Structure 1
């Protein structure tokens, strides 16, 4: 591919995802922390496609913080921001934010609401690697 985009610090990619009840593993309909890491992999893949025209590979996390629970019935916003551009590596700041939450009751088993204040559930810093760019 010769017309590769130029990776630019500040580029953002955002996904939204509903957490199905089938993914809950713990009391209170909690999902495991690996769920957020999987979502980080998805948003990082799109970032590599946007910035480098390749799916890239996740190389490492330098920090992961689990700040609040993620539950089945949540609607999540998963974001990646490009914060560093190396020759073949890209530094990302990642976040999982709960923007809506299921609130089922016996009378309304499908009840849910958009949160007035989104909840930051998970943050991370990570590095992805991409193939070398072709010589111009």
Structure 2
């Protein structure tokens, strides 16, 4: 049994896997990455974590997706849109999902979503698994695969 640390508490991964943190259970053309936001990640008043934290996780999930699809990590060209929908706080456990939206000859349009799956209860390190994840950030971006690594579009 795997355990995940959320603050000072330890949560059974089986409980968290209900929200899709189990990377092996991802549908095809989807990649997920989970991460605990340590208290040290918070850099603003109200224990808020900056938006760049989620964008970094999008990069990790997008790289995983690219390797899964094309066998190459690809090069990220940029975001077409980014929406910050809910605050992420120090002590939260989040998951980032990258999902292939469309596939060109060398370009890959990817939809991203950052969800809070465990919420920090207070500054003591206590956290709770949420009954329903909170969508914190959504984005769409484009990755480009080098010519020699690109697979044929389907």
- Per the TM superposition, whether the score is higher than 0.5 is yes
1:20-99 matched pairs, under 5 angstroms = 20-99=38-117
Alignment partner, residue 130 of structure 1: 145
Q: Which consecutive unaligned segments of at least 5 residues does structure 1 have?
A: 1-9
Moved over 4 A (4+): none
Q: Secondary structure of 1:73's partner?
A: coil
Alignment correspondent of 1:18: 36
Normalised TM-score (structure 1): 0.85
From the two aligned structures, give the one with the greater helix fraction: 2
Unpaired runs of 5+ residues, structure 2, are 1-27
Give the paired residue count: 123
Q: Who is 1:120 aligned against?
A: 135
Task: Determine the C-alpha separation between the residues in 1 that align with 2:33 and 2:72.
Answer: 18
Deviation at 1:64, TM superposition (A): 0.4
Larger Cα Rg: Structure 1 or Structure 2?
1
Aligned partners of 1:133, 1:85: CA distance in 2, in Å? 16
Could you tell me how far 1:28 is from its partner in structure 2?
1.4
